[in-house]
Amino acid sequence: MNITKLKETIERRNKLDINDDYALEECWNIFTNILTNNIDETIDFLKTCTEDEFYGVAEVFPEIISKTQSHEIYNTMIARNESLENQEYKESNQTDLQFAKEAFINQ
């Protein structure tokens, strides 16, 4: 996993104008490509990243699950979100986690 590129993209995403659809989509594609490449590495990242980094990639949780169909990744997302100290992040991530749950085929 290219952690450096992922973290740089998270920083870039955090600085973007919310209306810059092209740049946002570009960041989301990078997040998705990196975080769907290796399930074990993705789980390790989700467990060890900062709260800001976790919040930064939460936007693509549904895409990650759609591509990987990994219950292990999903369970890690849920557990990590529950452990967040930042209540605003925790609550905001709930929508992305619900969409991620719905991304499983043949639930």
Question: Can you tell me the mean pLDDT for 48-72?
Answer: 96
Please, which pLDDT band fits residue 105 given cuts at 50, 70 and 90?
Answer: confident
pLDDT in tens, 15-53: 988 888 999 999 999 999 999 999 999 999 999 999 999
Q: Tell me if the pTM is above 0.85.
A: yes
* Mean pLDDT score across all residues of the chain: 95
Q: Which long-range contacts (CB under 8 A, 24 or more apart) does 37-46 make?
A: 37/1, 38/1, 39/68, 39/70, 39/72, 39/73, 41/1, 42/1, 42/68, 42/70, 42/73, 43/72, 43/73, 43/76, 45/1, 45/3, 45/6, 46/73, 46/76, 46/77, 46/80
